Amino acid sequence: DGGITQSPKYLFRKEGQNVTLSCEQNLNHDAMYWYRQDPGQGLRLIYYSQIVNDFQKGDIAEGYSVSREKKESFPLTVTSAQKNPTAFYLCASSIGAGQPQHFGDGTRLSIL
């Protein structure tokens, strides 16, 4: 079955450390997205990519970086510059911008 796979499900970060969250899709979708979810704040867009080798900042990109070297993969790095990284991170993909998005099951990041 096609879908989106996020790994790991739980991740712990030490102070000053960069961590990378994986997102892989086999839906043949062009567009991919990263969201951060905090209680009571809904989903906030971090980065999105509409095509391979191209990506744009979302509303809260500071302290995060991404790459899109392959259509299937859109990894997110949470850098040490992100001072409050504890959150639930969701990856999504769609055929194109504005179309229904399909979501992975998320990665919960916590600080040690």
For another protein, the binding residues (CB under 8 A) are 4, 6, 33, 40-43, 45, 48, 58, 88, 90, 92, 96-106, 108
Nearest distance from C-beta of residue 40 to another protein, angstroms: 7
**Which value, in Å, is the radius of gyration of the alpha carbons in the chain?**
13
Residue with Cβ nearer another protein (8 or 96)? 96
Nearest distance from C-beta of residue 15 to another protein, angstroms: 25
Residue with Cβ nearer another protein (70 or 96)? 96
As a whole number of angstroms, the distance between CA 81 and CA 79 comes to 5
Cα torsion through 74, 33, 89, 112, rounded to 10: 50
As a whole number of angstroms, the distance between CA 14 and CA 19 comes to 9
Q: Which of 74, 78, 75, 38 is nearest to 61 (CA)?
A: 78
Residue with Cβ nearer another protein (19 or 92)? 92
Nearest distance from C-beta of residue 80 to another protein, angstroms: 26
Nearest distance from C-beta of residue 57 to another protein, angstroms: 12
Angstrom distances, CA of residue 56 to CA of 39, 43, 79, 108:
25, 17, 17, 23
Residue with Cβ nearer another protein (59 or 69)? 59
